Structure 1
Amino acid sequence: MIRIGLGYDLHRLVEGRAFMLGGIEIPYSKGEDGHSDGDVLLHAVTDAVLGASGLGDIGEFFPPSDQRWKGADSKMLLEEAWKAVVRDGWTLENIDCVIALQEPKFLPWRKEVRESIAQVLSVPAEKIFVKAKTGEGIGFIGRGEAVQAWTVCLLSKPD
């Protein structure tokens, strides 16, 4: 059996917060405004693996109304969700991600981000790919007001 999962997240960028992407803090003057550390990429990955497995979504596993998750490390959230997916018998085939952000430039951080996600999921980095697109100066992404991430993942499981 194979299943595809789609994950998405969007966060406003604000001053006074760290910019977290894929579990890596990237130097920038703004960071994501979120209940946890705001890592849009890891939130999208978490939703994708949970959706593909049929086990739920990030809001069910880690409700923002629960103060335990206030300021939480998104790597830990993904790790907990992934443990549930693996316990249910699923194997990761691959993950592909797109990040939409005007700044900072992502390419210098891609290898480190891929390795970070792979480490959390205990898979080879070759199973993870991440690319970024700018807003070309258009809309809330182009004005540097927010960052978005989309993720698809393919899981497999013996019938």
Structure 2
Amino acid sequence: MPKLSVMSYYCFVHLLIVITIIKLSSCFPSGAPADACENLTPRHTGTTPITENSPYTLKAITGNFEYSSSTDQGIKVRIDGPPFRGFFVIAVDAKTGERVGKWAQLKGTNTIDACSGITHGDNKRKKSATLLWIPPEKGSGGISFIATVVKSFSEYYTPITSEADKK
């Protein structure tokens, strides 16, 4: 077996370190993983969420739900603010705190049915996102939407709670 020179050894070690750092700092360009359901954080290594003074708003056309068999009776939810790269939104029954309903899978989104969640489908810059939440087939009442919005790998805001439009 040939002997490695000291320089070759250091180059090899450096390469392994770079590969490890890249692997550890990888993000999720096609949306949050299902395990993000637990606490709505994107699992970006070495980062912490910003929990105050979010520049983003999360608006719903109403704060109440009731199931209708018509497919266009969902609740529209919109994220606005400065350009962002990702998001993760869940729907929560305002009375019980239970995650309820499901999301319509629209272009550029991925749904996570296990926790009534929806996430981005790519990490392209977005000016806004309009989503459609479908109520559960049983029940009615108040609904809240809670989001995490990712501006960049190290800058993300959570929790952002919905406000019903006053229109």
Specify which structure has the higher proportion of helix: 1
Q: Which has the higher contact order (CA 8 A, sep 6+)?
A: 1
TM bin (shorter chain): under 0.3
- TM-score (normalised: structure 2): 0.23
Specify which structure has the higher proportion of strand: 2
Of the two, which has the highest radius of gyration? Answer: 2
